[in-house]
């Protein structure tokens, strides 16, 4: 079983760095979700991430950096990318940018693409990267296709028998993964809605964020973002307007749903209707409903503005039919 160390323990940073130098993936708290981090320049270390998660190798990883100089050693920044990094880093924005010829991020981390996804996280994760001196590749610290972890206990439940070290930084403040934005010339493309609202990006960039659509009408998403990502064990249905007996209810904004008295559990993402609070609670509530072994999970509508776009994206993936 994995050992869990609080980030407040004075030895934790040194223990983490030693593990990373041995090429071990370790679970690290970030402001979005817990990541499974390993040296992005070391092919064996990256392979161990894919193995622990059971993740398909064609699905590239985000490389996490501690400062802008580290970022620029690996990817090419346009003035627009600079402006966005200045406004939102450190924070929940991932930028997809062209790799530069001297990049040391290993092709296993980028799945051989000509671009890399980079993010500068907040807090202890950033301290680890600064101390390590190289970017850390880190997908969310869950088995592939499962709900992302927002506490150390979530990581232990899902990956505790696959990894040796979990750093415990408490609950993640944001609670949904970073927004992934591809910056290509004068085009900004939203590959995944996340912890920074598209509107906030548009306000800084002074231009629209494009949401590319496929013929099916779905967004063209980051490679490997499968429809049935975030799958709980119980069936989850959206836009519920009535509760079926024995269902778990996840609602929003304090609004009751008819039939709640027959629900097995009722949780409100944010009784006051605050989308930030709702995002922070989302994955924990899905996991709790699932752990209760309910007949199904009924989710009330959540507004689409601000962080609502990311919340609705994750909910619709959790509700998608399994392949």
Residues that bind ligand TXA (CB under 6 A): 30, 32-33, 35, 59-62, 92, 94, 96, 110, 113, 115-117, 119, 121, 138-140, 177-178, 180, 191, 222-225
Strands 165-168, 3-6: parallel, antiparallel or unpaired by DSSP?
A: parallel
Whether omega for the bond prior to residue 90 falls within 30 degrees of 0, making it cis, is yes
Give the DSSP letter of residue 261. Answer: G
Dihedral of alpha carbons 9, 13, 19, 20, sign: positive
Q: For ligand TXA, which is the closer residue by CB, 174 or 269?
A: 174
H or E element, residue 63: strand 62-64
Q: Tell me which residue has its CB nearest to Mg ion.
A: 140
Residue 110 touches Mg ion, criterion: CB under 5 A: no
Q: For Mg ion, which is the closer residue by CB, 136 or 243?
A: 136
135 binds, among Mg ion, ligand TXA, none (CB under 5 to 8 A by kind): none
Q: For ligand TXA, which is the closer residue by CB, 155 or 319?
A: 155
* 291 closest CA partner among 267, 255, 322: 267
61 binds, among Mg ion, ligand TXA, none (CB under 5 to 8 A by kind): ligand TXA
Residue 94 touches Mg ion, criterion: CB under 5 A: no
Binding segment toward Mg ion, per CB under 5 A, in 135-143, 190-198, 241-249, 251-259: 135-143
Q: For Mg ion, which is the closer residue by CB, 27 or 249?
A: 27
What lies within 8 Å, CB to CB, of 39 at 6+ separation is 20, 21, 23, 45, 46, 132, 134, 136, 137
Q: For ligand TXA, which is the closer residue by CB, 110 or 249?
A: 110
Distance between CA atoms of residues 169 and 195, nearest Å? 18
Burial of 135 (0-12, 13-18, 19+ CB in 10 A): buried
Residue 270 touches Mg ion, criterion: CB under 5 A: no
Residue 109 beta carbon to ligand TXA: minimum distance, rounded to whole angstroms: 8
Q: For Mg ion, which is the closer residue by CB, 144 or 164?
A: 144
Place of tokens 């399994």: 322
Residue 258 beta carbon to ligand TXA: minimum distance, rounded to whole angstroms: 36
Q: Is 230 left (phi over 0), alpha (psi -120 to 50) or beta?
A: left
Residue 216 beta carbon to Mg ion: minimum distance, rounded to whole angstroms: 22
Give the tokens for residue 123.
């807090």
191 binds, among ligand TXA, Mg ion, none (CB under 5 to 8 A by kind): ligand TXA
Residue 140 touches Mg ion, criterion: CB under 5 A: yes
> Would you tell me which residues interact with Mg ion (CB under 5 A)?
140
């Amino acid at each position: 079983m994995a050992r869990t160390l609080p980030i407040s323990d004075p030895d934790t940073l040194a223990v983490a760095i030693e593990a990373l130098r041995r090429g071990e993936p370790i679970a690290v708290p970030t402001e979005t979700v817990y990541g499974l981090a390993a040296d992005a320049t070391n092919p064996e270390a990256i392979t161990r991430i894919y193995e622990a998660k059971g993740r398909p190798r064609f699905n590239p990883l985000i490389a996490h950096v501690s400062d802008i100089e580290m970022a620029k050693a690996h990817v090419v920044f346009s003035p627009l990318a600079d402006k966005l990094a200045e406004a939102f880093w450190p924070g929940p924005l991932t930028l997809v940018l062209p790799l530069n010829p001297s990049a040391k991020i290993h092709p296993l981390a980028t799945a051989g693409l000509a671009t890399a996804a980079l993010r500068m996280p907040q807090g202890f994760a950033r301290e680890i990267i600064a101390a390590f001196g190289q970017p850390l590749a880190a997908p969310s610290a869950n088995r592939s296709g499962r709900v992302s972890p927002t506490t150390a206990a979530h990581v232990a439940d899902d990956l505790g028998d696959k990894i040796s070290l979990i750093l415990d930084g408490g609950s993640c403040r944001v609670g949904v993964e970073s927004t992934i934005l591809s910056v290509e010339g004068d085009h900004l493309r939203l590959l995944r809605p996340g912890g920074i609202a598209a509107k906030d990006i548009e306000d800084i960039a002074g231009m629209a964020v494009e949401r590319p659509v496929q013929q099916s009408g779905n967004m063209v998403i980051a490679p490997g973002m499968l429809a049935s990502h975030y799958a709980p064990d119980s069936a989850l249905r959206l836009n519920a307007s009535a509760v079926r007996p024995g269902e778990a209810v996840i609602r929003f904004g304090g609004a009751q749903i008819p039939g709640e008295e027959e629900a097995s559990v009722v949780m409100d993402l944010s009784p006051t209707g605050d989308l930030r609070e709702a995002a922070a609670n989302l994955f924990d509530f899905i996991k709790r409903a699932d752990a209760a072994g309910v007949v199904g999970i009924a989710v009330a509508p959540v507004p689409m503005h601000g962080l609502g776009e990311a919340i609705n994206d994750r909910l619709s993936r959790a509700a998608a039919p399994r392949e």
